[in-house]
Amino acid sequence: MSLTARFLVGFALVAIVGLSVLFSQLIRRVERQYFEAIEEPMVDVANILAEIVGAQAKDGILEPQIVEAAIRAAQRRDLNAQIYNLNKTKVDMQVYVTDAQGRVLFDSAGIEKPGTISNHRDVNLTLMGEYGARSSRTSEYDPLSIVMYVGAPIIRNGQTIGMLSVAKPQRGVLAFVWETERWLKWSIGTTVVLMLLGIYLAARWATRPLEVLTQHALAVSRGERSTSPHMPGHQMKTLAKALEDMRDALEGREYVENYVQSLTHELKSPVAAILGASEILQGDVPEPKRARFLQNIRAEAGRLRDLLERLLHLAALEKQKSLENREPVNLGEIIDRAWDHHALIAAAREVTLKREVTDDIFVEGDPWLIELAVSNLIQNAIDFAPKGTAVTVRGYRFDSKGVIEVEDRGPGIPDYARERVFERFYSLPRPDTGKKSTGLGLCFVKEVAELHGGSVELTNLESGAGAKAMLILAA
């Protein structure tokens, strides 16, 4: 699981648990406050109606007919009261009256029959002079059939001669509670989504430098040339620098180890040849043989010099993580200079050089490195080209990139060597002499191509006779 996903999952769990607890507590609190808000005016209504009934009493006898008639008439009314999202069409408030002994005189809901003694909590407490209120179900199987009751004493001449209780079904109040609950769910859900989106963007912003560093480390592990990325913040810059220092240290150690092993192997042959020739020359050697051994010493010394020069060029190139010199380069001019340099060499080997270059092929790069790379490709083609054949150099633009092709009519690349031709010190024997080169030329060309954001390819021609090297450079 990615670091961003961990941030999201962790935050989502904390947010969902925390907001769920908050939501449940909030709903209970809202429901209680709604009921409190309904109960408070019920107290007023109960006391007002109790005063009306008490004023109609004669000789201490309650006559609730006026209230009964008013309640019945009100319940028959068709209302059209739009209370926010609730459309109220009927009066649902009920009233019942008892005497001082708790005997029911009137119940608009028809629950308590007249003449029965009511022992409900609101009746008993109100007749005892206390605040009487209760909540009861009209059906034990329906949890939404709860009715709220608030009682008020009926007082005449300072004496309690009965009580009046106002009833209000909770179902009507629950419509407001449910509306509030739906609003809270939508608001909290939207808040959670926005918070998750925000934490996702924040996590992506926070982990982006780590992702860039990871991609850089993976590129380094694959052997690709990758420059150290620019990091924000002190900690990330320190981490990037530490990673780059570690990379340089590891590459330096591996670089030295590989070079020492490869160089030792390559130096054995010419050094052994020089030592053998010098020992023979210490004795009495005829002049023709002496001249031949001296020629061998000069040839092997030249080979050592060429090897050391190429090693120095390649070592300097491999240390570069990006181009130090970048300027517009005309590939036509580069090919012309490399062509002129190898013209005499090709003529001596009876190889013809052909040039097919379009005008104005410009790329951004280092002209010296590109010229060395092209020279290596041309020299390599001349070495493998049979006498009487031609080496063709092409330059053109393809898909906004500069392309240089060098084609010869030699034996081509054996199947076993196709994967190794760009390795350091790997070389194939030349057809005419059977000798190998330093094995650094194509490796150098590959490094130049990668520094210029391009690539190099070496393939056999479709005709089966010859090979083609293709150097691709980003424009």
3-class SS of residue 325: coil
For residue 100, count CB atoms less than 10 angstroms from its CB and return exposed for 0-12, middle for 13-18, buried for 19 or more.
middle
Query: Beta-strand (E) ranges in 377-466?
Result: 390-398, 401-408, 455-460
| pLDDT given at position 255 | 47
Cα–Cα distance, 148 to 246 (Å, whole number)? 77
Classify each residue of 160-178 as buried b or exposed e, where b means 16 or more C-beta atoms within 10 Å of its C-beta.
bbbbbbbbbbbeebbbbbe
The overall longest dimension of the chain from CA atoms, in Å, is 165
**Domains in the chain, ordered, with CATH?**
3-179 (3.30.450.20), 323-475 (3.30.565.10)
DSSP secondary structure, 124-168, as one string:
HHHHTTS--EEEEES-TT-TT-EEEEEEEEEEETTEEEEEEEEEE
Token duo for residue 184: 């809270």
Characterise 444 by phi-psi region: left (phi > 0), alpha (psi -120 to 50), beta (else): alpha
pLDDT values of the chain reduced to their tens digit, one per residue, 475 residues: 666 677 777 777 887 788 788 878 887 887 788 888 888 999 999 999 999 999 888 877 888 888 888 988 998 898 888 887 778 888 889 999 999 999 999 999 888 899 999 999 999 999 999 999 999 888 878 877 889 999 999 998 889 999 999 999 887 777 777 778 888 888 888 887 888 788 778 777 777 777 777 777 666 666 555 566 666 766 666 766 666 666 665 554 444 445 554 455 455 556 666 776 677 777 776 777 677 767 767 766 765 666 566 556 555 555 555 666 778 888 888 888 888 877 877 888 888 888 888 877 888 888 878 888 888 888 888 888 888 888 889 888 888 888 989 988 888 888 887 777 777 667 777 766 666 666 677 877 887 888 888 888 888 887 767 888 889 888 6
Rg (CA), the chain: 50
3-class SS of residue 232: coil
Q: What angle do CA 325, 313, 341 make, to 5 degrees?
A: 85
The model carries a pTM of 0.44
| pLDDT given at position 173 | 76
Cα–Cα distance, 242 to 244 (Å, whole number)? 5
| pLDDT given at position 430 | 73
Token duo for residue 213: 């560093």
Cα–Cα distance, 374 to 332 (Å, whole number)? 11
| Bridge partner residues of 87 (DSSP) | 82
